[in-house]
Amino acid sequence: MAKKKLGNFYTDEIYCGNSLELMKEIPNETIDLIITDPPFAINFKAKKNNYNRKQDNVLEGYNEIPQEKYYEFTFNWITECYRIIKESGSMYVVSGWTNLKDILNALDEIGFLTINHLIWKYQFGVFTKRKYVTSHYHILFVVKNKKKYKFNKIEHYPEDVWIIKRKYWTGKIKTPTKLPVELVKKIILFSSDKEDIIFDPFLGSGTVAVTAKTLGRRYLGFELVKEYCEFAKERVSNVQMSLINWVNDKS
Ligand SMILES: C[S@@+](CC[C@H](N)C(=O)[O-])C[C@H]1O[C@@H](n2cnc3c(N)ncnc32)[C@H](O)[C@@H]1O
């Protein structure tokens, strides 16, 4: 599959830099699907020792947004997403509940139309004393045009609660957060076709790019933190052609 030129960028590439700046250079209505897990503004302690991560193996540099700037930040990146998505396109935004209202308000104000509010239920063994253990994320499935968006009904009764385990890194070097491939794969199969362009403005360790490549889609990813960006590039380059051919022969 040949790379496509998108303004100053090429598909099937990962670029290091600030998404808010880089996105401005993507031409209007060129992206089929956006899947993203934006920074959360919850004072996330990326280097804290938790679950199976040993602090020294977590890459440096996680970039967090201060709470008071979160709405403005959210509004700005979602505005760019609206501009670059095709009429037939869609976007999935993963969010915890803490800043969900900012994301919902920005999506509405910018003009995105909500198709589903999905719940991703995961396992999480954190002890709490006086509250319930949070074990879900919200995934907002939104589109530009309710008559034109793609939806490949790959399951007969696709429900809006997805029970998918979080995956933790097994290798030595880790980035602080990552989406499960199983979750990203489900979104890609429902909401895109082969060779479509899938974009993640907050790529982190590169899960969206890796999964898109494996499923025969084009990808584009931006990531601010240089170490994560290099890590994502390496992860994508390790996706084997034999695996891609195998997966695509089966689908
Ligand atoms: C929640 S993580 C994404 C994790 C990713 N889904 C994965 O599977 O690894 C959010 C990412 O956004 C990046 N980020 C924060 N602000 C950014 C910006 N302005 N431009 C590009 N990336 C940014 C952070 O460095 C972090 O890696």
Average pLDDT over every residue of 127-145? 94
CA 92 – CA 189 distance, rounded (Å): 13
pLDDT tens readout for residues 38-51: 997 655 444 444 44
- Taking the CA of residue 73 as reference, the ligand 1 atom at the shortest distance is 19
pTM exceeding 0.75: yes
Take atom 17 of ligand 1 and give the residue whose Cα is closest. Answer: 224
* Ligand 1 pocket, residue 63 CB under 6 Å: yes
* Ligand 1 pocket, residue 18 CB under 6 Å: yes
Residue of 81, 183, 203, 213 to mutate, ligand 1, most atoms within 8 A of C-beta: 203
* Ligand 1 pocket, residue 93 CB under 6 Å: no
* Ligand 1 pocket, residue 205 CB under 6 Å: yes
Q: 5-250 has which CATH code?
A: 3.40.50.150
pLDDT tens readout for residues 155-187: 999 999 999 998 776 665 556 578 999 999 999
pLDDT tens readout for residues 67-99: 888 999 999 999 999 999 999 999 999 999 988
DSSP assignments along 70-133, one per residue:
HHHHHHHHHHHHHHHEEEEEEEEEEE-STTHHHHHHHHHHHT-EEEEEEEEE-------SSSPP
Expressed in angstroms and rounded, the spacing between residue 96 Cα and the centre of ligand 1 is 14
Q: Is the pLDDT of residue 61 over 60?
A: no
DSSP state of 201: S
Tokens 């998108």, located at residue: 6
* Ligand 1 pocket, residue 37 CB under 6 Å: yes
DSSP state of 139: E
Question: For residue 250, what pLDDT is reported?
Answer: 62
CA 122 – CA 142 distance, rounded (Å): 22
Q: Is the pLDDT of residue 251 over 80?
A: no
- The number of angstroms, rounded, from the C-alpha of 190 to the middle of its chain's C-alpha atoms is 15
CA 65 – CA 44 distance, rounded (Å): 10
CA 73 – CA 66 distance, rounded (Å): 10
Those residues with Cβ within 8 angstroms of residue 228's Cβ, 6 or more apart along the chain or in another chain: 59, 61, 175, 203, 204, 205
CA 70 – CA 102 distance, rounded (Å): 7
Question: For residue 172, what pLDDT is reported?
Answer: 58
* Ligand 1 pocket, residue 80 CB under 6 Å: no
Give me the chain's average pLDDT, please: 88
Expressed in angstroms and rounded, the spacing between residue 204 Cα and the centre of ligand 1 is 4
